[in-house]
Amino acid sequence: MTDLQISLLAIGGTIVVGVVIFNKWQEYKAKKSVDQAFGSGHDDVLMNPNAVTEPRFQEDGYDTPRHEPSLDTDFSEDNSDFGRQSPASMPGAISQANPFDASEKDLPVDELIDCIIPLEFDAPVRGEKLLTEIQGLKYVGKKPVHFIGLSHDGVRDVVAHGGIYTTLFAGVQMVSRGGPLNELEYSEFVTKLREIADRLNAHPDIPDMNRVMSNARDLHQFVSEHDAQLSVNVMSNGAPWAVSTLLAALEKQGFDVRPDGRLVMPDGDGGNLFTLSTNVSVSETVTARLTLLLDVPCVAPLRDGFGAMAACAKSLATRLGGTVVDDGNQPISKTALDEIAGQVNEFYAAMAEADIAAGSTRAQRLFS
């Protein structure tokens, strides 16, 4: 081996060692920055989610509002008629036999969002027999199907062992985020119900398909217009953060870590306020950007989901040495956040006027 070859090998080895040392140093700095950020003992929104019901924003660092996130839906008086009246009261809405308000007992069959078909029996039927018949019908396509029964004493409730029923109500959900109930799904629903009715000596009252499809399209329009998700981002002002240290710290501060890598901030009552994503795959070790996302129609107004999310983002930015930015990496001002909060309140009012309150069981089902 010549002196030149030996020299080249020595130089190459030095470069490789230098790259490894540099990468280790970057990882060390990222880990250290996160450790320092979460090492303090003061209380904030990450440690106490209940403390963010009245968020306060500082002006420092957010003086220039540009490209802030906003709700695209227009909630003015020129908006869709659907947002100003209950879907069941609209022209062409299905007239249900024996109408009832499922929200009173949080029943799984709801006349506002389900197409309901009653099956009246020639003679009372025990709950055990009904459960055997209906256990195989849980979906048509991707639309969920639920049942309740009318007991011999006139009470509507979930079918149960030991109960005796004179009528069975079958409800198929007319809309989800995947789209409205279609003709094929409705036909499958009716066909399977007729088979159940034949075995139970029941008489189904089948609504006209055209009316069902019209009602489903109207409800889908509402869902489409109110399917709002808001996000804010925290971008590092310097070196990226170590993901492993960051995730462990956030989990200790109250976030629940999901298998897909998302972190969820619980609302303290079994639900979720908002989610957080590191925006990197599980194989990556550092990240320079965090995204917080609020599913607006699925969080009740009293939870103040947007205020909690914005306050959490501000706290993260302060502790980690970052900036709260929009999707275009432009800083978000306090003024812009206040404007969005006002739009969110208008959004909640529109949903409540349509009898589909944000965060309610109806909203959770429709926006699933």
Examine the pLDDT at 102 and tell me if it is beyond 80: no
Q: How far apart are CA 317 and CA 288, in angstroms?
A: 11
Q: What is the mean predicted confidence (pLDDT) over 301-319? A: 95
d(CA 300, CA 359): 4
Nearest by Cα to 134 from 193, 74, 68: 193
Question: Taking the model in full, what pTM does it have?
Answer: 0.74
Is the pLDDT confidence value at 80 over 60? no
pLDDT the model gives residue 82? 36
Position 106 scores a pLDDT of 81
Residue 262: predicted pLDDT: 79
Domains observed in the chain: 34-73+228-366 (3.30.1400.10), 87-224 (3.30.1400)
Mean pLDDT of 259-282: 89
Average of per-residue pLDDT values in the chain: 82
45-61 per-position pLDDT tens digit: 444 444 443 333 333 33
Distance CA 229, CA 232 (A): 10
Q: What would the pLDDT profile of 128-144 be if each residue is shown by its tens digit?
A: 999 999 999 999 999 99
Residue 291 has pLDDT above 70, yes or no: yes
What is the C-alpha separation between 290 and 236, in angstroms, rounded?
Answer: 9
Kindly state the percentage of the chain with pLDDT values over 70.
71
Place of tokens 């399209």: 217
Q: How many CA atoms lie within 13 A of 6 on its CB side?
A: 3
Residue 86 has pLDDT above 70, yes or no: no
Going 43 to 293 to 34 to 257, the CA torsion angle's sign is: positive
- Reduced to 3 states, what is the DSSP secondary structure of residue 111? coil
- The answer on pLDDT for 76 being more than 50 is no
Residue 339 has pLDDT above 70, yes or no: yes
Whether pLDDT at 44 is above 80: no
pLDDT score of 67: 38
* Cα angle for residues 356, 229, 37 (degrees, 5° grid): 130
Q: Say yes or no to pLDDT of 255 above 90.
A: yes
